[in-house]
C-alpha cells in the first residue's frame, strides 16, 4: 500500500485535504481511444474474470472506480518501477478470479486512493455509496505521523473491527498483501523479512480462518522462500525432480476414474499438486518422500450424497487407510471447509490421499468467505431472518472473530494487543463446545473450562467455581474436546475472584486478559494463599482451594477480603484462624491447630492424617476448641467434606445432588473420580446452615440408590 508508493515529488500529506474535482479527473482519465460506453482496456481482464462468476454483473461502477483510481494514482510509481495503478488492478484481479462480487472489486480498485492520494472518504462515499466507503476505510492504514510505532498494530486493530461488521474488508487486505508479497523482491532483505514475519504470524492465520485457501497457500510459499531460502530451494528441487511422465498418481487417478464410471457415478478426478510448504511438512513428518507425496487426488461430484457414494466405492475397490479418514462434510471446519478425506492403496503399494467434495464445496474451500458473494444481500424470496443464538451460524461473523473483537477492547495497550493477536492466531485449530441453553462456543483447541466460562459470561466468570462437562462435575482446568457440552458454575458472591493458577489453564486471550486485569485491580490477591498451600497441597487429591471456592448459586460464598470468624478459639487470641480444607472440622469434632506460613493457625480434626504429618516434621500443635460450645461460622454455617462410595448407574450424580439440596446444604466444590470396576467415588465439600444437620445429610446421601457408604473425608497429609 503506501509503502509501495514512490512519488518523490508528492507533497507531505496534510491532515485536512482540499476537495478535488472528480469530474475533471474523470475527463483526463478518459482521454484517448477509450469511449465512455466501454471499459478501459486496462481492466478488461478483470471484467472477464468477474463475468465468469457473475454473468449478469453491472460493470459500470467498475469503470468509474478504475477512472478514479487511475487518475488519482497517476504519476505514482511502485518501487518495482511500474505505474502504481498496476497494484490495485492486480489486487482486484485476484479477487475477481476468486469470485468476489462487484462491490468488493470496486472497493479493491479504490483501496489505496484515500491512503496515498488526495481523494477523501467523503468523496468515495458520494460517488460509490456507503458500502464501498466502509470497505475502503477498513483497509486504509493509520498514519505513522499520528501513531508512531503503534501504527501497524493499531491499523490491524482497526481492520479487525471493520471486518467484524463486513468480512470483505479482510478479503481485500489479504489480496493486497498477496500482490505485495509477489513483488517484494525489490525491497531490502531486512524489510522483506519483517513483512514476511507479519504475513506469517497474522495474515496467513487470518486467511486460514476465513477459508481462503487459494491465498493462504501462495502466501505460505512466498513467506517460506523469504524466511527459509535454503529449505525452499531444497523443496523446489525435490518437486522439480518428481515432475515427469511416470507420476504414480496418474495411474491411481485412472483407476479411480474407471471405478467410478463403472459404478455409474458422475465425477471429475483431478491431481492436485501440493504447494511447497505442504511438501516440506510431509517431508519433515515422513523423512523420505514417496512418489505420491507430491500431490493428492481431488474428486469433484454434484451432490453431497455423491461424496459418500464415491467414498463407498473407493473403500470397496481399494484398500483404505482408515486412520486417514476424516468427514468434514458432516462436521465442517470452523472456516466453512467441507470435504471427505481418505487415503487408498494403489498398485505396488502406493498410497494416495483423496479429497472428495462437491463443486460448490470446492469453490468455498478455495475462496472461503469470498465465495459467499455479498453475504449481506437479502434474497427477496427468502423468509425474514431472525437473529441466531449461535454466532457461528453466521459465516460473516465466525466465533474466532467474535472472540478477537471481544478481547481487543480490553487490550488497550498496542503492544499487548499485537502480542496477544499473534498468540491467538497461532492456535491453528478450533473446537466447538455446546452450552446447556442450546448455543455454542467456538474455542481454540486445548481450551479449558476457564476459557468456556469467560467466553460465555465475560467478567462474571471471575466467580466461577467449577463446571459440568457432559453432565459430569469437572474442575475449571479440565481441557475440553470438540463436541463437549459445558456448563460453567458461578458463585453468587461477586466479591470472589479468580485463582492465579487459572492463567496456567487459560488459552484464549479474553480469559487471560480478564484474569490479568482482575489481579491488576487486586494486587494483594495475586499472592499465594498460605492456607490454600497448607490445606490443599499434594495430598488434597487435586481438590480446588476452598478459600477460593463458592457455592454454585445456592448460598453466599466467603469474601476474599480478610479472615472470617470460624467459631474456633486458639491460645493466641490475635492469630487468624482457618479451618483446614483437608478435613473440614465441624462441631463436635475435637480440634488441634498448627501455625502455617503467614502466621495463621490452621485448625484440623484431631484424627486428620495432616496432624500426624505435622508432628512428624516438628510442628508444635496449638490448642483449639469450639467457641462457647457453638462451633458456628458466623452467618455462614459450617463446611464439611464428604466422600460417597457408590456403584455406577445413570442419574446417580443428579440423585445425589438432589439429596444434598433437600438437606439444605450448598455444594462448594465437587469431584467425581473415573469409574473403577463399576464403582464411583464422589467427593463433595458442602456448606450446612448448622453442624447439627450433618448426620441427617449423611443419611440422606446413603439412602440414594447405589450409594453404599458416605464418610467424612480424610485426605492424606500434605508433605511440603
164 SS3 class? helix
Tell me the β-bridge partners of 273. 295
Query: What are the distances in angstroms from CA 695 to CA 90, 632, 692, 712?
Result: 79, 16, 7, 11
Catalytic residue of the set 97, 112, 116, 543: 116
Query: Using CA atoms, how far apart are residues 484 and 470, in angstroms rounded to an integer?
Result: 6
Four-residue CA torsion sign, 328, 332, 335, 336:
positive
116 in catalytic set: yes
Query: Using CA atoms, how far apart are residues 621 and 619, in angstroms rounded to an integer?
Result: 6
371 SS3 class? helix
CA torsion angle 531 499 423 279 (round to 10): 70
Report how far Cα 120 is from the mean position of its chain's Cα atoms. 36
| Number of residues that make up the chain | 720
Tell me the β-bridge partners of 270. 298
Owner of C-alpha cell 449481506: 376
Tell me the β-bridge partners of 77. 6, 83
Task: Quote the cell numbers at residue 367.
Answer: 475462496
Query: Using CA atoms, how far apart are residues 414 and 236, in angstroms rounded to an integer?
Result: 39
CB distance 132 to 168 below 8 Å? no
Angle, CA of 285, 324 and 271, to the nearest 5°: 85
Which residues have C-beta within 8 Å of that of residue 85, sequence separation ≥ 6?
A: 42, 69, 70, 73, 74
Catalytic residue of the set 70, 97, 115, 529: 115
Crossing angle of the two packed helices 60-73 and 102-109, in degrees rounded to 10:
10
- Helix, strand, coil shares, percent, the chain, to 5: 45, 15, 35
Query: Using CA atoms, how far apart are residues 556 and 338, in angstroms rounded to an integer?
Result: 48
CB distance 398 to 378 below 8 Å? no
Neighbour-count burial for 205-224, b at 16+ CB within 10 Å, e otherwise: bbbbbbbbbbbbbbbbbbbb
CB distance 250 to 271 below 8 Å? yes
Closest to 205 in 3D by CA, of 65, 401, 379: 401
Query: What are the distances in angstroms from CA 259 to CA 236, 310, 312, 322?
Result: 34, 9, 11, 20
Crossing angle of the two packed helices 151-165 and 414-425, in degrees rounded to 10:
60
3-state secondary structure 197-240: HHHHHHHHHHHHHCCCHHHHHHHHHHHHHHHCHHHHHHHHHHHH
Closest to 574 in 3D by CA, of 551, 595, 550, 553: 595
**DSSP-derived secondary structure letter, 143:** P
Catalytic residues: 115-116
Amino acid at each position: 500500500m503506501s509503502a509501495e508508493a514512490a512519488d518523490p515529488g508528492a507533497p507531505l500529506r496534510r491532515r485536512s485535504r482540499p476537495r478535488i474535482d472528480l469530474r475533471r479527473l474523470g475527463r483526463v482519465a478518459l482521454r484517448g481511444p477509450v469511449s465512455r460506453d466501454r471499459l478501459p482496456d486496462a481492466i478488461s481482464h478483470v471484467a472477464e474474470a468477474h463475468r465468469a462468476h457473475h454473468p449478469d454483473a453491472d460493470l459500470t461502477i467498475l469503470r468509474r472506480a478504475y477512472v478514479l483510481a487511475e487518475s488519482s494514482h497517476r504519476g505514482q510509481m511502485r518501487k518495482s518501477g511500474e505505474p502504481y495503478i498496476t497494484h490495485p488492478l492486480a489486487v482486484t484481479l485476484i479477487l475477481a478470479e476468486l469470485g468476489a462480487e462487484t462491490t468488493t472489486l470496486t472497493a479493491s480498485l479504490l483501496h489505496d486512493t484515500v491512503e496515498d492520494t488526495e481523494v477523501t472518504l467523503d468523496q468515495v462515499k458520494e460517488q460509490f455509496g456507503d458500502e464501498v466507503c466502509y470497505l475502503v476505510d477498513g483497509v486504509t492504514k493509520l498514519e505513522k505521523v499520528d501513531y508512531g510505532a503503534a501504527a501497524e498494530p493499531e491499523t490491524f486493530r482497526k481492520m479487525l473491527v471493520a471486518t467484524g461488521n463486513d468480512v470483505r474488508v479482510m478479503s481485500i487486505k489479504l489480496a493486497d498483501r498477496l500482490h505485495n508479497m509477489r513483488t517484494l523482491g525489490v525491497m531490502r532483505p531486512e524489510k522483506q523479512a519483517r513483512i514476511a514475519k507479519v504475513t506469517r504470524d497474522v495474515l496467513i492465520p487470518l486467511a486460514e480462518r476465513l477459508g481462503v485457501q487459494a491465498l493462504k497457500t501462495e502466501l505460505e510459499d512466498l513467506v517460506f522462500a523469504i524466511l527459509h531460502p535454503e529449505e525452499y530451494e531444497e523443496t523446489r528441487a525435490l518437486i522439480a525432480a518428481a515432475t515427469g511422465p511416470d507420476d504414480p498418481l496418474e495411474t491411481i487417478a485412472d483407476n479411480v476414474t474407471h471405478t467410478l464410471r463403472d459404478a455409474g457415478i458422475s465425477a471429475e478426478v483431478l491431481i492436485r499438486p501440493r504447494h511447497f510448504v505442504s511438501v516440506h511438512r510431509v517431508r519433515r513428518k515422513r523423512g523420505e518422500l514417496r512418489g505420491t507425496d507430491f500431490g493428492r487426488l481431488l474428486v469433484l461430484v454434484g451432490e453431497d450424497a455423491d461424496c459418500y457414494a464415491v467414498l463407498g466405492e473407493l473403500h470397496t475397490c481399494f484398500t483404505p487407510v482408515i486412520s486417514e479418514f476424516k468427514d468434514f462434510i458432516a462436521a465442517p471446519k470452523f472456516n466453512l471447509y467441507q470435504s471427505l478425506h481418505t487415503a487408498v492403496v494403489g498398485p505396488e503399494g502406493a498410497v494416495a490421499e483423496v479429497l472428495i467434495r462437491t463443486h460448490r464445496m470446492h469453490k468455498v474451500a478455495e475462496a472461503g468467505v469470498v465465495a459467499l458473494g455479498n453475504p449481506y444481500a437479502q434474497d427477496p424470496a427468502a423468509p425474514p431472518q431472525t437473529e441466531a443464538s449461535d454466532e457461528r451460524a453466521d459465516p460473516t461473523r465466525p466465533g474466532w472473530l467474535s472472540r478477537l473483537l471481544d478481547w481487543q477492547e480490553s487490550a488497550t495497550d498496542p503492544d499487548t494487543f499485537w502480542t496477544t493477536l499473534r498468540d491467538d492466531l497461532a492456535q491453528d485449530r478450533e473446537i466447538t463446545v455446546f452450552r446447556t441453553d442450546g448455543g455454542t462456543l467456538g474455542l481454540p483447541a486445548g481450551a479449558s473450562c476457564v476459557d468456556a466460562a469467560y467466553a460465555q459470561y465475560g467478567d462474571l466468570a471471575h466467580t466461577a467455581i467449577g463446571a459440568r462437562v457432559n453432565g459430569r462435575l469437572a474442575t475449571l482446568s479440565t481441557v475440553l474436546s470438540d463436541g463437549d457440552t459445558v456448563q460453567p458454575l458461578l458463585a453468587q458472591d461477586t466479591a470472589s475472584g479468580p485463582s492465579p493458577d487459572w492463567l496456567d489453564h487459560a488459552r484464549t486471550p479474553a480469559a487471560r486478559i480478564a484474569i490479568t486485569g482482575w489481579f491488576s485491580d487486586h494486587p494483594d490477591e495475586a499472592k499465594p494463599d498460605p492456607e490454600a498451600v497448607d490445606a490443599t497441597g499434594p495430598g488434597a487429591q487435586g481438590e480446588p482451594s476452598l478459600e477460593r471456592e463458592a457455592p454454585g448459586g445456592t448460598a453466599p460464598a466467603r469474601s476474599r477480603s480478610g479472615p472470617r470468624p470460624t467459631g474456633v478459639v486458639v491460645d493466641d487470641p490475635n492469630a487468624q484462624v482457618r479451618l483446614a480444607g483437608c478435613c473440614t472440622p465441624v462441631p463436635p469434632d475435637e480440634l488441634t491447630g498448627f501455625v502455617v506460613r503467614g502466621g495463621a493457625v490452621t485448625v484440623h480434626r484431631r484424627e486428620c492424617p495432616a496432624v500426624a504429618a505435622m508432628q512428624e516434621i516438628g510442628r508444635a500443635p496449638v490448642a483449639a476448641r469450639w467457641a462457647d460450645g457453638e462451633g458456628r461460622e458466623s452467618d455462614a454455617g459450617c463446611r464439611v467434606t464428604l466422600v460417597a462410595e457408590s456403584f455406577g448407574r445413570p442419574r446417580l450424580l443428579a440423585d445425589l445432588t438432589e439429596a444434598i439440596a433437600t438437606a439444605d446444604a450448598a455444594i462448594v466444590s465437587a469431584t467425581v473420580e473415573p469409574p473403577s470396576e463399576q464403582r464411583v467415588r464422589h467427593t463433595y465439600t458442602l456448606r450446612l446452615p448448622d453442624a447439627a444437620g450433618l448426620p441427617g445429610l449423611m443419611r440422606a446421601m446413603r439412602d440414594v440408590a447405589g450409594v453404599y457408604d458416605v464418610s467424612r473425608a480424610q485426605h492424606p497429609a500434605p508433605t511440603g
